[in-house]
Amino acid sequence: MGSGNYCLANDITLDSSTLGQNWEGPEGYRGHFNGNGKTIKLELANTKGDIALFNSLADTAIIENFNIEVTTKGSNGTDHLAMTGTAHFGGVVADISGIGNYILRNISITGNLNYKLSGGQLLAGGLIGQVGGIMIIKIENCSSDININVVEDDLNSGDYDGVRGFGGLIGKITGSSGNEITINHCRTGGEIVADLSSNTTDPKALVAGGIVGDIIGTGNGDNNAKSNVIIKNCYSTMDINLKTAMNGLVAGGGLVGRYGTSYNSARISNSVALNKTINAQSSHVSSNTSAHRVVGVHSGNGQVANNYALSTMMVNESAVSDTAANSLDGLSKTANDLKAEATWVSGLSFSKDNWDFSNIARDGYPTLKLKSSN
């Protein structure tokens, strides 16, 4: 599939038997891809490079209106891809870089992303693996119920000098001055499990978040991203469990793992962390571990404002006492509080145009409405 406008007429299956073992997805797609409410079954089997439904986008693109079921297929019949080197994985787009203007909306992602690591850098998200460059991206009305599972395979013998970033929607966001990335009216579920407990080498970071894993600068260090990242009216039920023996940063957050931006206007606001557990632990005595209910670790000028968190959430196996709505842990809300429509509509400005509250008394959270595209 090259550049152009497409509208799906039927459900489709894309797997290694029809695409080949080395398929990575089309590069530099520009145009309008309308899934027309259909379902795409996508099997990721390549072990190198950037892999997703679309490998990358270019210039201007609209991707919308479909369900995608994602699975991984490793060698010898396993479901874990054996990874080394640098790789970006996403259900829809692997890597969005360069200069462009993009919209991703009305997309539902389900499935499993399983990896066995022997070195390098891995960034994975239910929707997008990595975002970097100078661009405007709007992500709205998207849901991700994805399970990301990462295990080790003799990591000490490989090059492990890289960031591991995992998110329910996006693995990692970097960028240059002028970026504007908005994530509105989205939700995530499932879990992220990364067990690298035998690794004693010294990577830059292992981070994960229910919406975005990592938001930093253009390098691998702790410098702040020159990106105006705005996350609003989102929630996550995604559990996060990170375990390692490394001497480096290990950070987990219910919405964002690591949040560093130089923009005063960047905000994570009016959102809810409904995760049951957030664990970010290392057995190394000199490691830097940080876990919070909303944002795992924060630096720079970006704001964290008016967020709620499930009062029974366990963070590094401990309960969190009631904290302020503008804190990294958010304002505690009980399960009964969250079953009240007013908690979401009056307290957080969730719109009834985007969210269905008809079953909130039963579920404790609203469901997304499909929005018609113009």
Would you kindly state where each structural domain of the chain is located, as residue ranges? 6-368
Task: State how far the Cα of 221 lies from the Cα of 231, in Å rounded to an integer.
Answer: 23
Per-residue pLDDT at 226: 59
pLDDT at 211: 98
Give the CB-side neighbour count of residue 87, counting CA atoms within 13 A. Answer: 26
Count the neighbouring beta carbons within 10 Å of the beta carbon of residue 346.
10
What is the reported pLDDT for 220? 40
Cβ-contact 262, 224 below 8 angstroms: yes
Hey, CA dihedral for 363, 365, 370, 372, is it positive or negative? positive
For residues 82 and 75, is the Cβ–Cβ distance under 8 A?
A: yes
The alpha carbon of residue 241 and the mean position of all alpha carbons in its chain are separated, in whole angstroms, by 14
Is residue 291 within 8 Å of 243, Cβ to Cβ? no
Which DSSP category does 217 fall into?
A: -
Choose among 58, 3, 54: nearest CA to 31: 3
CA distance 146 to 243: 19
**Residue 255: closest CA among 214, 303, 287, 223:** 214
Within 10 Å of residue 321's Cβ, how many Cβ atoms? 8
Low-confidence ranges of the chain (pLDDT < 50): 157-160, 218-223
Q: What six digits make up the tokens of 63?
A: 């991707």
Q: What is the pLDDT of residue 221?
A: 41
Q: What is the DSSP letter of 97?
A: -
d(CA 153, CA 146): 23
What distance in Å separates the CA atoms of residue 184 and residue 35, rounded to the nearest whole number?
20
Write down the pLDDT at residue 84.
66
Nearest to 297 by CA among 324, 272, 335, 261: 261
Tokens of 129: 């693996």
The pLDDT tens digits for 14-42 are 987 777 666 778 899 999 999 999 999 99
Which pTM does this prediction carry? 0.93
- pLDDT (0 to 100) of residue 143: 97
What pLDDT was estimated at residue 35? 97
Q: How many other C-beta atoms are found inside a 10 Å radius of the C-beta of residue 248?
A: 22
Tell which residue, 162, 166, 150, 158, has the closest CA to residue 248: 162
Residue 219: φ, ψ to 5°: -100, -175
Q: Are 240 and 194 in contact (CB under 8 A)?
A: no
Cα separation of 356 and 259, whole Å?
30
Residue 267, SS3 per DSSP: strand
Which tokens sit at 357?
A: 């509250």
Do 371 and 141 touch, CB atoms closer than 8 A? yes
Of 48, 43, 53, nearest in space to 8 by CA? 53
pLDDT at 18: 72
